[in-house]
Chains A and B, each alone.
Chain A
Amino acid sequence: MPVIDVKNLSKIFGKNAKKATKYLDEGLSKEEILKKTGNTVGVNRASFSVEEGEIFVIMGLSGSGKSTLVRLVNRLIEPTEGSVIVDGQDLAKMDQKSLREVRRKKMSMVFQRFALFPHRTIAENAEFGLEVQNIDKEERRKKAAESLEMVGLKDYMHQFPGQLSGGMQQRVGLARALANDPEVLLMDEAFSALDPLIRKDMQDELLELQQSMKKTILFITHDLDEALRIGDRIALMNDGKIVQIGTPEEILINPANDYVERFVEDVDRSKVLTAEHIMKRPETVDIEKHGPRAALERMRKEGLSSIYVTDAKRNLEGYVTADDVSAAVKNDENSLKNILRTEVLQVDKGTPIHDIFAVIHDATVPVAVVEDGKLKGIIVRGAVIAALSGSEVSLNGDHS
């Protein structure tokens, strides 16, 4: 069951917003509705669900409605239509008191410009959410300290936000959100105001924290690289609409429309695509069953100069070259064991192409792709180059 289930959520700004929703039904565009009614469509019928422990990224350029959408989820902005179901309760329809309870216990938010309270110390900022719940001072200070320790800022408890750098301030923002121990974290462009290097550190840190805390995270960003880096799934937004939802690979490999395609064009594919996407089905021989003659025959048929050798369970043993095999045939040997070469270049299924590139450069045989010792596929140099150049023909999982 999803933790957050958003259905047909819309926001129309301006007077008589309900009337304008009729035009949404008729499928009119944002511009047409603005012309007809003077209302701005913020979010147009967004539906998505976020599973427990997932980082769900909502990605779009400025004006795409992503910041409005996240504010509809915790109702900082009142939705015009639609529902936000969290734990079976519809946030869009609940009274103010229940809404406060949800915000206090289930959902915390991290803001783009940190939004720390400048008149409160770091510790007082971190414990804000607990203070609001009237938890007594000692306990909330303890929890705030734990939370600050997680982000590595325990020593700064008595400083003021103005004394900290941007990256540190956002760690406090994160600690403040985590102190309540919420199920859901809403992160609105949380790293966008930081310089690129710090941003990357923060992304890594978030992923690392996520390993242990397993929160359900709704992450907003305008940066596709960031989305691909941290998202388990990504929703792409344009003009208030969600145009595609999928895993990073799905979005890169199968862009749903021109908009997404243009978007992903410039992505550094080498960091997103992995060995799995470009590997080929390997030709192999079984070390127990096949001798040099069988191996030579297979290689001649497939036009190979070497071939991988496995056992019956497809555990990788090594490879043999055509030269060695024909010598063995001449010498009338019956086993491949004597000519088996075991120094194999191997990579894991999840290795990014970027890293394979370095390995494959001076490889004389295709690189082996393994998972738990089993041979899953091979990668030839040409496939890496093809993938980097963006030709989709060579990519696995392309169902078009």
Chain B
Amino acid sequence: MGIIPEIPVAEWITAATEGIQEALAPIFTFLRDDFGDFIEVFAEDWLMGVPIWLFILVIAVLAFFATGKKFGLVAFTVLGLWFVANQGLWEELMNTFTLVIFASLISVIIGVPFGIWMAKSKPVESILTPVLDFMQTMPAFVYLIPAVAFFGIGMVPGVFASVIFATPPTVRFTNLGIRQVSGELIEASDAFGTTGAQKLLKVQLPMAKKTIMAGINQTVMLALSMVVIASMIGAKGLGQSVITALQRAQVGPGFVAGFGIVILAIIIDRFTQNLNTQRGDNP
């Protein structure tokens, strides 16, 4: 073995992380402090400031219209949210909801442009594909380490780790959706003299909408799956209740917190799926 010495990969990564940390210190500080404060305000002042009954009512009304005036999701929303509140987990639910919202929003804001870029350029696609594979297959726990190094503990590193883990589906599905638009429609668009931007906005993105939305749905679900993991580095929410229950070997409270996550997951999933309709689709 001695012929080739052990390659110091671990040292390199550590050094690189430290280098990034130093170079981008002002940005990280800003994100940790100001963005962190904003997340806290969003969760504790805004969301928790709304009376529980009003919050449930608003979500129920939205569910009613999102599902095309059916009552299934409405009933589930009302019962589910009432149950969480009844179990004394409302604040945890709001924190988790905040984490998921921010992680998903940032993932989409980053993911869609990358997906478009990937669809427009073959080289970019061949570079990004393995990168996305890497991001998704690397155990999610590993992202917690640089997250803590950059942002300390709390919500911000939780969002950061979730974004890394949850972005790939949006990128992939955006790319796929745009590439799936039929060649003849692209020709039609070109034949009428569209610029690249017009073609993207008037033809490709509207046609890819359904696929992109399916990707976003997956992104939201992945962000939600990071909730428990992120709570290991101090992200508040239902995940924390699960971890606490695990540490104290309390089966009951563990499951109750788990139910809360399941209820949130189902509500978000049905909402994003029901919003995913395309104009001109035959019913």
Residues in A lying within 8 Å of B, measured CB to CB: 71, 74, 76, 99-105, 107-109, 111-113, 115-121, 128-129, 131-133, 160-163, 180, 186
Taking a contact as CB atoms closer than 8 A, the residue among A71, A112, A118, A129 that contacts B193 in the complex is A129
| Interface presence of B11 (CB below 8 A) | no
Are A74 and B278 in contact, with the CB atoms below 8 A? no
One of B192, B194, B202, B280 near A118 (C-beta < 8 A): B280
A129 touches B282 (CB 8 A): no
On whether A76 and B190 interact (CB within 8 A), knowing A115-B185, A117-B203, the answer reads yes
A225 to chain B, nearest CB (A): 25
B277 to chain A, nearest CB (A): 11
Q: A115-B184, A121-B280 provided; 6 other pairs, C-beta below 8 A?
A: A107-B191, A111-B184, A111-B187, A111-B188, A115-B182, A132-B198
Q: Which of B207, B209, B282 contacts A162 (CB 8 A)?
A: B282
B146 touches A (CB below 8 Å): no
**Residue of B at shortest CB range from A162?**
B282
- B206 CB-CB contact with A under 8 Å: yes
Give the bracket for the number of chain B residues in contact with chain A.
20 to 34
B121 at the interface (CB under 8 A from A): no
Query: Would you call A74 and B191 a contact (CB within 8 A)?
Result: yes
How many angstroms between the C-alpha atoms of A100 and B202 in the bound complex? 16
Contact in complex: A132, B193 (CB < 8 Å): yes
The answer to whether residues A162 and B280 also contact, given A76-B191, A117-B203 and a CB cut-off of 8 A, is yes
Contact indicator A113/B190 (Cβ below 8 Å): no
Chain A binding site: helix, strand, loop or mixed by DSSP?
A: mixed
Q: Are A162 and B191 in contact (CB under 8 A)?
A: no
Interchain Cβ contacts under 8 Å between A and B, 7 examples: A104-B192, A115-B184, A117-B185, A117-B188, A132-B193, A132-B202, A133-B193
Report whether B191 and A132 are in contact in the complex, using a CB–CB cutoff of 8 Å: no
Q: How far is the CA of A101 from the CA of B193 in the complex (A)?
A: 7
B86 interface contact, C-beta 8 A: no
B145 to chain A, nearest CB (A): 44
Interface presence of B279 (CB below 8 A): yes
Given known pairs A115-B184, A120-B279, A162-B281, the reply for A100 and B195 (CB within 8 Å) is yes
> In B234-253, which residues have CB < 8 Å from any A CB?
none
Contacts A111-B187, A117-B203, A119-B206; is A180 near B280 (CB within 8 Å)? no
Asked if B281 contacts A103 (CB within 8 A), the reply is: no
Q: CB < 8 Å: which of A100, A109, A160, A163 contacts B188?
A: A109
| Residue from the list B187, B195, B278, B279 in contact with A115, Cβ < 8 A | B187
CB pair B280–A108 under 8 Å, yes or no, is no
Question: Which among B194, B195, B203, B207 has the greatest number of chain A C-beta atoms within 10 A?
Answer: B194
Give the distance to chain B from A98, nearest Cβ to Cβ, in Å: 10
Partner of B278, one of A104, A119, A132, A180: A119
| Nearest B-chain residue to A179, judged by Cβ | B192
Least Cβ distance of B15 to chain A in Å? 44
The smallest beta-carbon distance between A15 and chain B, in angstroms, is: 15
Q: Are A119 and B207 in contact, CB atoms less than 8 angstroms apart? A: yes
Q: Which residues of the other chain, B, contact A160 by a CB distance below 8 angstroms?
A: 279-280
Q: Which of B187, B191, B209, B278 contacts A108 (CB 8 A)?
A: B191
Q: Which residue on chain B has the smallest CB distance to residue A101? A: B193
Contact of A132 among B184, B192, B209 (CB under 8 A): B192
**A113 to B184, Cβ gap below 8 A?**
yes
CB distance from B278 to the nearest CB of A (A): 6
- Complex CA–CA separation, A130 to B191 (angstroms): 12
The interface residues of chain B lying within 8 Å CB-to-CB of A128 are 192, 202
In the complex, A163→B280 CA distance in Å? 8
* B231 → A minimal CB distance (Å): 41
- Asked if A132 and B188 sit within 8 Å, CB to CB, the answer is no
A322-B229 Cα distance, complex, nearest whole Å: 113
Chain A residues whose C-beta falls within 8 Å of the C-beta of B207 in the assembled complex: 117-119
Residue of A nearest to B194 (CB): A132
Q: How far is the CB of B209 from chain A (nearest CB, A)?
A: 8
CA distance A151 to B43 in the complex (A): 58
In contact, B279 and A103 (Cβ under 8 angstroms): no
- Chain B residues with CB under 8 A of A132: 192-194, 198, 202
Interface 1/0 per residue, B193-226 and A, CB below 8 Å: 1110010001100110100000000000000000
Q: Which residue of A lies closest to B183 (CB)?
A: A115
**A120 and B194 contacting across the interface, CB-CB below 8 Å:** no
**Residue in A102, A111, A120, A132 with the greatest tally of chain B CB atoms within 10 Å:** A132
Once bound together, how far apart are the Cα atoms of A105 and B279, in whole Å? 29
Chain B residues near A104 (CB-CB < 8 A): 192-193
Q: List, in ascending order, chain B residues with CB within 8 A of A105's CB.
A: 193
CB distance from B283 to the nearest CB of A (A): 10
Q: How far is the CA of A76 from the CA of B184 in the complex (A)?
A: 11
- Whether the Cβ atoms of A100 and B193 lie closer than 8 Å is yes
Contact with A along B245-283 (1 / 0, CB 8 A): 000000000000000000000000000000000111110
Distance in angstroms from A265 CB to nearest chain B CB is 33
Residue with the highest number of chain B CB atoms closer than 10 Å, among A115, A116, A133 = A115
Roughly how many angstroms separate A109 CA and B188 CA in the complex, as a whole number? 7
A115 and B188 form a contact (CB under 8 A): yes
Which chain A residues border B282 with CB–CB below 8 Å?
Answer: 162-163
Residue of A with least CB distance to B185:
A115
Given known A111-B184, A117-B203, A132-B198, contact A180–B192 (CB-CB < 8 A): yes
A387 to chain B, nearest CB (A): 42
Across the two chains, which residue of chain B brings its CB closest to A71? Answer: B187
**Chain B 166-200 interface mask (CB, 8 Å, partner A; 1/0):** 00000000000000001011011011111100100
| Least Cβ–Cβ distance between B191 and chain A, in angstroms | 4
- Chain A residues near B185 (CB-CB < 8 A): 115, 117
Residue among B195, B206, B280 with most chain A CB within 10 A? B280
* Best-surrounded residue of B187, B207, B209 (most CB of chain A within 10 A): B187
Q: Roughly how many angstroms separate A180 CA and B184 CA in the complex, as a whole number?
A: 20
Say yes or no: B280 contacts A103, CB within 8 Å.
no
Chain A residues with CB under 8 Å of B202's CB are: 117, 128, 131-132
Chain B residues positioned under 8 Å from A161 (CB to CB): 280
For the complex of A and B, 9 pairs with smallest distance between CB atoms: A104-B193, A103-B193, A160-B280, A115-B188, A109-B191, A100-B193, A129-B192, A115-B184, A118-B280
With contacts A120-B279, A162-B280 known, is A103 near B190, CB below 8 A?
yes
